Structure 1
Amino acid sequence: METSTQGADAAELLDAVGPAFSRLRRAAALNVEKNVSRKDLTRTLVLNIVQDGPERDSQEITVGVVGERLAVDPSVASRMVSDCISAGYLIRAASQQDGRRTILQLTDEGHRTLARFRSHQRSAYERITQDWPERERLEFARLLIKYVESVAELQDDSASG
């Protein structure tokens, strides 16, 4: 049976999650390793969306989809995509569903850039958690991935319902 102290401790812990996510977001922008520029952080947001692909069968990855997933204005999404195209990470291609629509595809350089960024992210995770027991590092990674997948499922349910 849970005591009122345990319940208060649990409530306090759960109340701290939101502010912790906010601090994490701000810290992520600062970069642990300092070898990824802010511009590259922004580019990887766009590249990850393109790599993640459609959320449903009829969807294709367009500038509009990038804007929706990043919750930015279409003009901001367009500038972000144009920057990735100028850098050689993305190309525009004709939609196979609607020839009037332009879709986005990763280039070989875009794939290499994402691989480098993932390596950087892993190094940062390992550095941040270097003093944690291995079991905790792996459990936190597993739970974080589970959390993100649950968020995606909720978004899917909201979109379909």
Structure 2
Amino acid sequence: MTSNIVESDVSGLSSPFGPVPTQSGALDQAGASEIDATGRFDQAAEIADAVISLMRIYGNLKARVANTADPEIAALFLLVRLVKDGPKRAKELADLTSADPSTVSRQVATLVKTGLIERKADPEDGRASILVPTELGVTRVQEHFVNRGQMIEPMIADWPETDRSDFLRLLRCYADRLESRREEVVQTMSKSHHLQSTHHLPPPQHVPTPPPPHASTERSN
């Protein structure tokens, strides 16, 4: 005997894994998932746009400061890393900051000359040397942190404490994730740059293929 179960009856059935979806319900779920994924990608694109805008602003500020400041300012980032992460070899410092070794070498020389760091024998390899911040260098970094706080505070002065805490937590989380996936990000950015470059190339010009030469016709006598 043929069952006369209609769609409304099927929707009420259940299984050990939950309600049995109807065909239209499954399509609705798929459509909702696609819309949700699209919304997440759109939101991620907006976040990327905001991050890029922030990088441009800080890049412009850094360039303006570099044009008026002494060489110690450019080398200050290395000093901060040494104070926070401990003594390191110059090569390790270059890898940590993703900087060119020759640039790091010049900046290290500046820091040594100004008495902010000193070279000491590497306890693991006496033939090599490590870079160690001096007491003056540690004081300089502490002053730098105070100055940075004074720069940021007016921009978030009217934020509620919860917003300040959430912003700090999420920003640190984003920075840590970016650092852990650095190579993947570089590959993605390289692909994007390649696509943009090829997109702006002029379309190839069509060169008509010349017709093949006609074979000479032999005349019979």
The TM-score, its normalising length taken from structure 2, stands at 0.56
Unpaired runs of at least 5, structure 2: 1-31, 183-221
Inter-CA distance 27–139: structure 2 relative to 1 (3 Å threshold):
farther
> Residue 127 of structure 2: SS of its match in structure 1?
coil
Inter-CA distance 143–38: structure 2 relative to 1 (3 Å threshold):
farther
Task: Return the alpha-carbon distance in structure 1 between the equivalents of residues 142 and 48 of structure 2.
Answer: 35
Task: Return the alpha-carbon distance in structure 1 between the equivalents of residues 45 and 95 of structure 2.
Answer: 33
Q: Equivalent residue for 1:53?
A: 85
8 A contact 2:72–2:111 mirrored in 1: no
RMSD, aligned α-carbons? 3.2
Task: Return the alpha-carbon distance in structure 2 between the equivalents of residues 13 and 97 of structure 1.
Answer: 47
Task: Return the alpha-carbon distance in structure 2 between the equivalents of residues 79 and 9 of structure 1.
Answer: 43
Q: Equivalent residue for 2:102?
A: 75
Q: CA deviation at 1:90?
A: 0.1
8 A contact 1:29–1:38 mirrored in 2: no
The TM-score, its normalising length taken from structure 1, stands at 0.74
Q: CA deviation at 1:132?
A: 3.0
Q: CA deviation at 1:18?
A: 4.2
Q: Equivalent residue for 1:136?
A: 163
Q: CA deviation at 1:24?
A: 4.1
Tell me, yes or no, if structure 1 residue 148 matches structure 2 residue 180: no
Unpaired runs of at least 5, structure 1: 55-59, 156-161
8 A contact 2:121–2:128 mirrored in 1: yes
Percent same amino acid among aligned pairs?
23
**Bigger relative contact order, structure 1 or 2 (CA pairs below 8 A, ≥6 apart):** 1
